[in-house]
Amino acid sequence: MKSAFNVRHLVSVLLVAGLLLLPLYSHLTGNVFVLTLFTRIVILALAAASLNLIMGYGGMMSFGHAAYLGIGGYAVGILAQEGIGSGFVQFPVALAVSAFYALVIGALSLRTRGVYFIMITLAFAQMAYYVASGLARYGGDDGLTIYKRSDFAGLINPGNRVQFYYLCLACLLVVVFLIWRIVNSRFGLVVQGLRSNEQRMQAIGFPGTRYRLVCFVIAGTMCGLAGALLANNTDFVSPAVMYWTRSGDLMVMVILGGMGTLFGPVIGAVAYLVLEELLSQVTEYWALIMGPLLLLIVLFGRGGIMGLLGRLSRG
Amino acid sequence: MAEPLLRVEKLVRRFGGIIATDHVTLEVPRGELHAIIGPNGAGKTTLIGQLTGHLMPHSGSIHLAGRDISRLPAYRRSALGLARSFQITCLLADFTAADNVALAAQARAGHSFRFFGDARKERGLREAAMSALERVGLADRAGVVVSRLSHGEQRELELAVALATKPQLLLLDEPMAGLGITESARMVRLLSDLRKEVTIVLVEHDMEAVFALADRISVLVYGRVIASGTPDAIRQNEEVKRAYLGDQHVVVRHG
Ligand SMILES: Nc1ncnc2c1ncn2[C@@H]1O[C@H](COP(=O)(O)OP(=O)(O)OP(=O)(O)O)[C@@H](O)[C@H]1O
Ligand SMILES: [Mg+2]
């Protein structure tokens, strides 16, 4: 048990070290592309980590988590379009709108369980997708180009590749740290207890829905942050980031890395997106290889990569 | 007469065509150990479920210490001092024994909207958990994950969890179900200890235990209370003998 923890620990530390040193590698080899790729990976790892909070720790199988990527992104894009370029306005607005959306969706959907919850979160995200498609003033279906990245008053320059990468990485690490604190707090134990056995939790005096809802809002807010970063990264936001397949991607990253583990979603995001990148360079039919491969891991590698590492070290 | 701790009046609960609780009226004064017996399917668990709020009655009322709790959700009743153990073990299977009990203590300590401190390092909660575990003889198993505990240990943990909420009224649904002889004996000893501190409603098939422990016994058959009284009175009661204790009905032990 103990050694399992240590191997996971080691892999997590190596992962973080690798992410921290990546710009150096990119600089030394002159490989700019790897930095671009990993900026995207870090942002989506943040989104996956936030999904893991509700899905892995809270047992809430949300199939609409990509909606927050869009909401955070559109908050930045729309404000930029309307001439408000300050990141100190854009980011808080992105987080606040995401939180509000999560509050409403959560209040409506958390009464349901199992497949119904999956379906209802999916339905709401698709609604968000169609609403965004209908925003004619902001590009509608075609999406919205962001001509100027968020302005942080000279503090950080998001236009600089390395600086922006470190901004995203810092956000990821802070979010993972917060999740670590949360899952070990009183609140976190209640949420995990509810996942484990709701009836028991009610019998000892916990109103389940209230705690779940707060958790749902925290996760949505975190993912809104990923959305705001993603829009900056691509200088563009479109309804496509909210499409249900994107929510599915996030779920796969979480499951692949290991649900309910701190660094699982980060490892999952790296593995998923690097694999996708490599396979797509080899063949244009990469999805045909990727699909079955993921299926195998999900079906047979219980606990994802983190689970595998745990079993490996236990022998 | 003083207000009883628990007062149940004309409680009715149906499942489709059958009446699982049929105008049950019951009073349990503070300090009493009140046993509820009856054949399988008599409606004992259904009655407990309505007392705890896991199941809503169709009519009738439930008062706890004079307060109408008939419509309160389970978590509110728990906060008012009602705790239960489940007939079918109902624990957080992937948590340790200590975590299970500490969460009960945490519920007792007020709301849990605290997001930062490590709850497992809170002295107060851990100590409360340990003392409840000691109480039921599980102190040395505190760090073991529930799914690795034996059935008997899980039954004891059920009780520890209920105790950790510091209840006024303890509702125990067949705490001895599936226990071996020595485990059963230990549980009886534990209950005879506990009854000095807390009012208990005990549902149990083990007649020996029931008659040894109970101050009063109510007999439930087809959802109705057909008799209620001291163990001696119940033993003498003709209707009870006919319906339940008599030889046409074999009293089975659950397992
Ligand atoms: N959720 C339910 N839906 C439908 N019928 C139910 C439900 N729960 C209980 N019943 C029925 O209500 C009656 C009373 O059941 P209950 O479980 O309360 O009996 P019990 O006295 O606890 O029995 P046992 O000694 O076997 O535990 C039974 O006929 C049972 O089939
Ligand atoms: Mg029963």
Where exactly are the structural domains of chain A? 23-244
Q: How far apart are CA A95 and CA A73, in angstroms?
A: 10
Q: Could you give the CA distance from residue A191 to residue A55 in angstroms, rounded to a whole number?
A: 11
Contact A258, A304 (CB under 8 A): yes
Whose tokens are 């047992």? That residue is A59
The pLDDT, as a whole number, for residue B246 is: 56
Residues in contact with A158: Cβ distance below 8 Å, sequence separation at least 6, in sequence order: A87, A149, A150, A152, A164, A167, A232
ipTM of the complex in this document: 0.90
What band does A5 get if pLDDT is binned at 50, 70 and 90? low
pTM over 0.90: yes
Q: How far is B189 from chain A (nearest CA, A)?
A: 24
Residue A6 has pLDDT above 90, yes or no: no
To the nearest whole Å, the CA of B164 is away from the closest chain A CA by 9
Is B222's Cβ below 8 Å from some Cβ in A? no
Which of A158, A11, A174 has its CA nearest to residue A76? A158
Average pLDDT value for residue range A171-198: 98
Measured between alpha carbons, how far is A221 from A51 in angstroms, rounded to an integer?
Answer: 11
Q: What is the pLDDT of residue A309?
A: 86
- Inter-chain residue contact B117 with A201, CB threshold 8 Å: no
Encode pLDDT of A199-234 as tens digits: 999 999 999 999 999 999 999 999 999 999 999 999
Distance from CA of B91 to the nearest CA of A (A): 6
Q: What average pLDDT does range A281-290 have in this prediction? A: 85
Pick B91's closest partner by Cβ from A188, A197, A207: A197
With an 8 Å Cβ cutoff, are B83 and A203 in contact?
A: yes
pLDDT of residue B254: 42
A280 contact B CB<8A: no
| Ligand 1 residue neighbourhood (C-beta within 6 Å) | B 15, 18, 20, 38, 40-46, 87
Asked if the Cβ–Cβ distance from B112 to A201 is below 8 Å, we say no
Q: What is the pLDDT of residue A285?
A: 85
Average pLDDT in the A79-92 region?
96
Q: Find how far residue B137's CA is from the centre of its chain.
A: 19
Whether B50 and chain A come into contact, CB under 8 Å, resolves to no
Question: In a mutagenesis test of the A interface, which of B55, B94, B103 is the best target, namely the one with the most A β-carbons within 10 Å?
Answer: B103
Pairing state of beta strands A144-145 and B82-85? Answer: unpaired
Q: Does A188 touch chain B (CB under 8 A)?
A: yes
State the average pLDDT over residues A264-270.
97
Q: What is the pLDDT of residue A160?
A: 94
Cross-chain CB nearest to A204 (options B78, B114, B117): B78
Flag whether residue B116 sits within 8 Å of chain A, measured between CB atoms. yes
Which residue, judged by its Cα, is nearest atom 25 of ligand 1?
A: B40
CB atoms within 10 A of CB B97: 30
Distance A97 CA to ligand 1 centre (A): 48
Domains of chain B: which residue ranges? Answer: 1-81+168-255, 95-166
Q: Which residue of A has its CA nearest to B165?
A: A204
Measured on CA atoms in the order B20, B26, B30, B36, is the torsion positive or negative? negative
- In this prediction, residues A62-71 reach a mean pLDDT of 97
Chain segment B167-219, per-residue pLDDT in tens: 999 999 999 998 999 999 999 999 999 999 999 999 999 999 999 999 999 99
The answer to whether the CB of B192 falls within 8 A of the CB of B213 is: yes
Give the nearest chain A residue to B51 (CA atoms): A203
Residue A250 corresponds to which amino acid? L
Q: If you average pLDDT over residues A86-101, what whole number do you get?
A: 98
Residues above pLDDT 70, as percent of chain A: 98
pLDDT per residue of chain B (255 residues) written in tens, 0 to 9? 578 999 999 999 999 999 999 999 999 999 999 999 999 999 999 999 999 999 999 999 999 999 999 999 999 999 999 999 999 999 999 999 999 999 999 999 988 999 999 999 999 999 999 999 999 999 999 999 999 999 999 999 999 999 999 999 999 999 999 899 999 999 999 999 999 999 999 999 999 999 999 999 999 999 999 999 999 999 988 888 887 765 444 444 443
Q: Best residue in A189, A191, A201, A204 to probe B by mutation, most B CBs within 10 Å?
A: A204
How would you class B146 by CB atoms within 10 Å of its CB: exposed for 0-12, middle for 13-18, buried for 19 or more? buried
For an interface test with B, give the residue of A179, A194, A200, A212 to mutate (most B CBs within 10 A). A200
Contacts of A273-276 with CB under 8 Å at 24 or more apart are A273/A37, A273/A40, A273/A41, A273/A44, A274/A37, A274/A41
Whose tokens are 């103990």? That residue is A2
- Going by alpha carbons, the residue nearest to atom 11 of ligand 1 is B20
Q: Which CATH superfamily is domain B1-81+168-255 in?
A: P-loop containing nucleotide triphosphate hydrolases (3.40.50.300)
Quick check: B117 and A211 CB within 8 A? no
Residue B205 Cα: closest atom of ligand 1: 25
Considering CB atoms only, which of A181, A185, A196 is closest to B94?
A: A196
Residue B173 touches partner A, C-beta closer than 8 Å: no
Q: Does position A313 have pLDDT exceeding 80, yes or no? A: no
The first and second tokens of residue A168, run together, are 């995203």
User: Which residues on neighbouring strands pair with residue B5, listed in sequence order?
Assistant: none
Residue range A186-208: average pLDDT? 96
- DSSP readout, A157-182? -TTSHHHHHHHHHHHHHHHHHHHHHH
Angle between helices B151-164 and B181-194 (to 10 degrees): 10
